[in-house]
Amino acid sequence: MDIVIVGTPSHTPCHLAREAARRGCSDLLEKPSCLAIAEYDSVIEQMSSDAVLMTAISAVFRADVRLLVDSIGPGPFDIGASWWRREGVPGVNSWFTDRKFAGGGALLDLGWHLADVAYAMFTASMTGVTSELTPMANLSASARWRRSTDMATASSARDVEVAGRLTVHFADGSVLRISTAWASEVTYDCTRIRIATPQRSADLQTTFGFSPNRESAPRLVLADGTASTVHSFENQTGSEYTEQVNAMITAVYQARQGVPRPFGWTHNARVVMNFRSKPMLQREPRCNIGTENISLMGGQPAPSP
């Protein structure tokens, strides 16, 4: 066996990946690849010198996202990224809604993919992170398209966020704003990424993931101040995962040939949102989680303001 792809409930991937690494396998870890940085580092410690550890970045393999990233040019960047679903929680009373198994709710589940897109552009270090989370309260509707999914871990806990906002500031003046919701009043599940730089802007409307209730034709508008160009894409649901696996196979082959690994294939390629210490306030309509509780894209918690 050469490659192990780990796409299991959030509290299990690192344990499985460590076991695979001990057997000399390369690992592709689906998100969230860990619930704590120490878990991820423990996998790295087991990797052989010619093995590859990849944190899944499926969004970056989408055709619409690739054109967005390739076309926007240098920063600093002002990025607003949202992913709002219509129908509900992936699985009420399952591991999805239990923080000790899931690590977080909508912001971790959906925001991870949005952070992937930003991570493909950012090079500066973080200077601050803040978040606002909406508790589940009495929400009980499950997404209909997920009802046939086997929920391996049943749980009565509902201590994750059903919606969340995250704001990240960077040393070069870049700002990333992420907004996610498992249930909202949108007509269909929608992902939108807006980027502004001193030279140009971009606006992508699409739908990430596998939901059938999606944008019919992804659309990207690129503008440079004097003109704009509209790009349309075929809606090939899930094709980015095939592209990601192909890239992993190529990386493993190159590693065995001694080809240096590009940035993004080592432990530095981490996009981790880790809500560690403060439980959410169940009776408040909204609650703020302090900046020390979230680690995003760098491996270290952001400093408190």
Q: What is the CATH number of the domain that holds 188?
A: 3.30.360.10
The pLDDT value recorded for residue 231 is 96
For residues 193 and 83, membership in a common domain is answered with: yes
For residues 52 and 64, membership in a common domain is answered with: no
295 inside domain: no
For residues 248 and 230, membership in a common domain is answered with: no
294 inside domain: no
For residues 6 and 31, membership in a common domain is answered with: yes
Whether the pLDDT of residue 263 is over 50: the answer is no
* Whole-number CA gyration radius for the chain: 19
Instruction: Tell me what percent of the residues of the chain surpass a pLDDT of 90.
Output: 29
For residues 40 and 79, membership in a common domain is answered with: no
C-alpha distances out from residue 16 to 11, 26, 197, Å: 10, 12, 41
Among 7, 9, 5, 6, which Cα is nearest to 100's?
9
Which residue matches tokens 């966020």?
Answer: 161
The mean per-residue pLDDT over the stretch 167-195 comes to: 93
The pLDDT value recorded for residue 260 is 63
226 inside domain: yes
Cβ pair 153, 94 in contact under 8 A = yes
138 inside domain: yes
What CATH number is attached to the domain comprising 9? 3.40.50.720
Weakest mean pLDDT among 56-60, 99-103, 201-205, 291-295: 291-295
For residues 82 and 1, membership in a common domain is answered with: no
Whether the pLDDT of residue 274 is over 70: the answer is no
The pLDDT value recorded for residue 147 is 53
- Answer with the one of 235, 268, 291 that is the final residue of a domain: 235
| H/E element, 202 | strand 201-206
Whether the pLDDT of residue 68 is over 90: the answer is yes
Whether the pLDDT of residue 295 is over 50: the answer is no
300: Cα separation from own chain's centroid: 17
Look up residue 284 and give its amino acid: E
111 inside domain: yes
Among 181, 207, 273, which Cα is nearest to 59's?
207
205 inside domain: yes
Among 52, 46, 54, which Cα is nearest to 252's?
52
For residues 157 and 183, membership in a common domain is answered with: yes
301 inside domain: no
Which residue matches tokens 């249930």?
Answer: 183
For residues 256 and 189, membership in a common domain is answered with: no
Domain extent, residue 148, equals 59-235
- Per-residue pLDDT tens over the stretch 235-244: 788 899 999 8
For residues 126 and 214, membership in a common domain is answered with: yes
Cβ pair 238, 209 in contact under 8 A = no
Among 194, 233, 198, which Cα is nearest to 214's?
233
Give the up-direction half-sphere exposure of residue 260: CA atoms within 13 A in the CB hemisphere.
Answer: 2
Q: Rounded to 5 degrees, what are φ and ψ at 162? A: -90, -15
Among 305, 275, 289, which Cα is nearest to 128's?
305
Question: Could you give the number of structural domains in the chain?
Answer: 2
162: Cα separation from own chain's centroid: 16
Among 107, 63, 81, which Cα is nearest to 195's?
81
19 Cβ partners below 8 Å, 6+ apart? Answer: none
Whether the pLDDT of residue 136 is over 70: the answer is yes
Instruction: Considering only residues 27 and 296, tell me which one the structure prediction assigns the higher pLDDT.
Output: 27
187: Cα separation from own chain's centroid: 23
For residues 26 and 158, membership in a common domain is answered with: no
For residues 120 and 49, membership in a common domain is answered with: no
209 inside domain: yes
138 Cβ partners below 8 Å, 6+ apart? Answer: none
Question: How far is the C-alpha of 161 from the C-alpha of 137, rounded, in Å?
Answer: 9
For residues 101 and 181, membership in a common domain is answered with: yes
Both tokens of 285, joined, read 């309509």
The overall average pLDDT reported for the chain is 77
Among 166, 180, 81, 165, which Cα is nearest to 121's?
81
Among 127, 117, 115, which Cα is nearest to 60's?
117
Q: pLDDT class for 143, splitting at 50, 70, 90?
A: low
